[in-house]
C-alpha cells in the first residue's frame, strides 16, 4: 500500500511548496521508489483554464487533456512521471461533482455537508490510482489559516487517523525571516504556523524552514522544542542559485532521510543522484552563451511562461551553454520608431510563444518578419506558429491576412477549430460555447514529412505525440499560397486536415508548431526542438 506525504505551507505564500514536493519526490525516486505527486488547490475555479496568466501563472496541460496548476510542471520536470487528470483537483471541481450528485439524488435525501461529503470526496481523490506506488505526495495549496483550505486540512487529518502513523507523514514548509534591524533570524512565525496547524489536528513530522541566512543549530533546537519535532527534522532551506540544485541541497540537509525515518524506514537504498550532479554541472559550467528574445504578451510575469523558461534552460543544458532570456513586450514593436530593430538585433534567436487575444499580435508578426528577413533562428509556438503563417501570407500578397480570433477578416489564414478527431472520436465545439475545458487539449499525434527539418530534429521519427492547448487553427486552404512563399507544412494531423508544424527550408532554422513542446521538456531529457533551437542560436552567436 502506498505511503502518503502531506505537504502544507505556513506564514506566507510563495515559499516553494511545489518545488519542495518535486525535489523530495526526485530524492525518493533516486532511492528506487515509485512516486506520484498530487496538488490540492482551494480556489473555486474548476481548473485554471479560464484564469488570466497574471492571476495564476501558466496553465500546465497533461497528456490526457487536463488544464492544471503550474506546479504539476515542476513535478514532471523533476521526476519524469507524466502528470494526469487525477493529479490536480480544486475546490471548484470537488463542489461541482458533489452538487451534480445531489441534483441526481445520489445522496438519497441526506443533507449535503462539508463533513462528510466534501472531505470524503477529497480523500477519494487522494487515494485513487495509488496501488502500484510507494509514495504519494499531496501538496495542499495556499497557507495554513486560509478559510478556503480548511476542508482539505480536515481531509488529510482524517486520512492520517484512518491510514495510521506508519502510512502518513506531514511536512510543513515555513519561513524563518531575517530582521535586519535586529540582526537576527526570528523563529516565532514558524512557531505560530505550527500551532495553527496543530489546532486543526495535524502535527507535522518534518519542518522545512525557508531562510535567507543560515539557521544556527540553537535556533533549530528552539524550533524543535516549541513545535514538538525532532531537532534533526528541522530542515534548513536556504535560497538556491538554481532550482535544479535544490534536490542536492535538500538531500545534503537530510530532508529525504528524515521523511523516511518518520515512516520508520531506516534501511532505504542509498540514492543515485548522478543525473542531478550532471544537470548542475552543465548548468554551472557552461561553455558558451546564447541570447534568446521571447516576444510575448505576458512578459510582466515570468510564471506565465514557466515551462517555456525551463525548456529554454534545458536546451542550454543539452548544448552546455548558458541561455540568457530577454522578455520582450510585443506591444513595443507596434509603435513608431526603430524599437523593433534595436531590441531584436542583439538576439541570437527569437521565440514567439503561445497566448490569446489580439493585443500585441502585430508586434509578434513584425518579430517573425525580422527573423525571416535577417536569418535569425526562429521558433513559434501555438499562437507563434499562427503569427508565422499570417506573416507568410502577407508576404505572399495576402495583405489582409489575419485570424478570426481578432475579428472578422477577408483572409482568415487562422480560424476557430470546430471539430477534430481524438481517441474518444469526433470532438465538436460551437463558436459561442463555454471557454473552460473546450479547447483542443492534451496529447495528439502529428505525422512528419520525410526528410523534413523537423523529422531530423526528432531523430528521423515519422510520427510524434505532443500536447496541445488551442482553439484556433491554421487554415489548410492557404497551404499552397504559404508553400509558394517558402513556408512548408512539414507536420500534419494523422487525418491530414490540421497543420501541426511549419518550417522554412531556405532559412537557417525556422520552425513553427501548433503544440506546446515546452510541456514535455526535462532537465535530464531536453526536448529536441529546444535543444535544436539553442544549437541554432549558438551557431548564430558565432556569426555576429
Q: Tell me if residue 516 is catalytic.
A: yes
CB atoms within 10 A of CB 196: 18
List of residues 6+ apart from 373 with CB closer than 8 A: none
| Helices within 255-355 (DSSP H only) | 255-262, 274-284, 306-319, 339-344
What is the rounded distance in angstroms from the CA atom of residue 235 to the CA atom of residue 217? 11
- 169-182: buried (b, 16+ CB within 10 Å) or exposed (e) per residue? bbbbbbbbbeeeee
Placement of cell 521519427 in the chain:
461
How many alpha carbons fall within 13 Å on the CB side of residue 407? 4
Distance from C-alpha of 110 to C-alpha of 127, rounded to nearest angstrom: 24
In whole angstroms, what is the distance from residue 288 CA to residue 101 CA?
A: 58
Task: Judge whether 117 counts as a catalytic residue.
Answer: no
Catalytic residue among 154, 391, 500, 518: 518
Q: What are phi and psi of 285, to 5 degrees?
A: -130, 60
Catalytic site residue from 74, 251, 516, 527: 516
**β-bridge pairing 419-422 and 411-416:** unpaired
Among 58, 382, 391, 466, which one carries the catalytic annotation?
Answer: 382
Within 195-280, strands assigned E span: 206-211, 234-238
- Per the DSSP assignment, residues forming a β-bridge with 137 are 5, 37
What cell numbers appear for 248 in the block?
542536492
User: Are residues 234 and 209 in contact, defined by beta-carbon separation less than 8 angstroms?
Assistant: yes
Beta strands in 410-509 (DSSP E): 411-416, 419-422, 425-428, 440-448, 463-470, 472-474, 488-492, 499-503
DSSP readout, 478-503? GHHHHHHTT-EEEEE-TTS-SEEEEE
Name the phi and psi angles at 513, rounded to 5.
Answer: -130, 140
Catalytic residue IDs: 382, 516, 518
Amino acid at each position: 500500500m502506498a505511503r502518503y506525504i502531506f505537504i502544507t505551507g505556513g506564514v506566507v505564500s510563495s515559499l516553494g511548496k511545489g518545488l519542495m514536493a518535486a525535489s523530495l519526490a526526485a530524492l525518493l525516486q533516486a532511492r528506487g521508489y515509485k512516486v506520484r505527486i498530487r496538488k490540492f488547490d482551494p480556489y473555486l475555479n474548476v481548473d485554471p483554464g479560464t484564469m488570466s496568466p497574471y492571476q495564476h501563472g501558466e496553465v500546465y496541460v497533461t497528456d490526457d487533456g487536463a488544464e492544471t496548476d503550474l506546479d504539476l510542471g515542476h513535478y514532471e520536470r523533476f521526476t519524469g512521471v507524466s502528470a494526469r487528470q487525477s493529479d490536480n483537483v480544486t475546490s471548484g471541481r470537488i463542489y461541482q461533482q458533489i452538487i451534480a450528485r445531489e441534483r441526481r439524488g445520489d445522496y438519497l435525501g441526506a443533507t449535503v455537508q462539508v463533513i462528510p461529503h466534501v472531505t470524503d470526496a477529497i480523500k477519494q481523490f487522494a487515494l485513487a490510482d495509488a496501488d502500484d506506488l510507494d509514495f504519494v505526495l499531496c501538496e495542499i495549496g495556499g497557507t495554513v489559516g486560509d478559510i478556503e483550505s480548511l476542508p482539505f486540512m480536515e481531509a488529510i487529518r482524517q486520512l492520517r487517523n484512518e491510514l495510521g502513523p506508519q502510512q502518513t507523514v506531514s511536512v510543513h514548509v515555513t519561513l524563518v525571516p531575517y530582521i535586519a534591524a535586529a540582526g537576527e533570524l526570528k523563529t516565532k512565525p514558524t512557531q505560530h504556523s505550527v500551532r495553527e496547524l496543530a489546532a486543526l489536528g495535524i502535527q507535522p513530522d518534518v519542518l522545512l524552514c525557508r531562510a535567507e541566512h543560515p539557521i544556527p543549530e540553537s535556533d533549530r533546537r528552539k524550533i524543535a522544542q516549541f513545535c514538538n519535532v525532532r531537532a534533526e527534522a528541522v530542515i534548513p532551506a536556504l535560497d538556491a542559485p538554481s532550482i535544479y540544485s535544490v534536490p542536492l541541497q535538500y538531500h545534503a540537509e537530510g530532508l529525504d532521510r528524515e521523511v523516511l525515518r518518520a515512516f520508520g524506514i531506516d534501511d532505504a537504498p542509498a540514492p543515485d543522484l548522478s543525473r542531478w550532479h550532471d544537470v548542475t554541472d552543465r548548468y554551472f559550467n557552461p561553455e558558451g552563451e546564447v541570447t534568446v528574445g521571447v516576444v510575448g504578451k505576458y512578459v510582466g510575469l515570468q510564471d506565465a511562461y514557466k515551462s517555456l523558461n525551463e525548456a529554454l534552460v534545458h536546451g542550454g543544458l543539452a548544448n552546455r551553454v548558458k541561455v540568457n532570456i530577454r522578455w520582450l513586450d510585443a506591444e513595443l514593436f507596434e509603435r513608431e520608431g526603430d524599437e523593433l530593430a534595436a531590441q531584436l538585433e542583439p538576439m541570437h534567436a527569437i521565440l514567439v510563444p503561445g497566448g490569446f487575444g489580439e493585443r500585441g499580435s502585430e508586434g509578434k508578426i513584425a518579430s517573425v518578419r525580422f527573423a525571416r528577413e535577417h536569418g535569425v533562428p526562429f521558433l513559434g509556438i501555438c499562437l507563434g506558429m499562427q503569427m508565422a503563417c499570417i506573416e507568410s501570407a502577407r508576404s505572399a500578397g495576402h495583405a489582409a491576412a489575419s485570424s478570426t480570433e481578432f475579428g472578422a477578416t477577408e483572409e482568415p489564414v487562422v480560424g476557430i477549430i470546430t471539430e477534430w478527431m481524438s481517441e474518444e472520436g469526433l470532438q465538436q465545439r460551437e463558436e459561442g460555447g463555454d471557454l473552460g475545458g473546450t479547447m483542443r487539449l492534451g496529447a495528439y499525434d502529428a505525422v512528419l514529412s520525410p526528410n523534413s527539418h523537423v523529422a531530423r530534429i526528432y531523430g528521423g521519427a515519422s510520427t510524434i505525440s505532443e500536447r496541445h492547448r488551442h482553439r484556433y487553427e491554421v487554415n489548410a486552404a492557404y497551404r499552397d499560397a504559404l508553400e509558394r512563399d517558402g513556408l512548408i507544412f512539414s507536420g500534419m494531423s494523422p487525418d491530414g486536415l490540421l497543420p501541426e508544424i511549419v518550417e522554412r527550408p531556405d532559412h537557417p532554422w525556422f520552425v513553427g508548431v501548433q503544440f506546446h513542446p515546452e510541456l514535455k521538456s526535462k532537465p535530464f531529457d531536453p526536448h529536441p526542438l529546444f535543444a535544436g533551437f539553442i544549437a541554432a542560436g549558438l551557431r548564430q552567436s558565432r556569426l555576429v
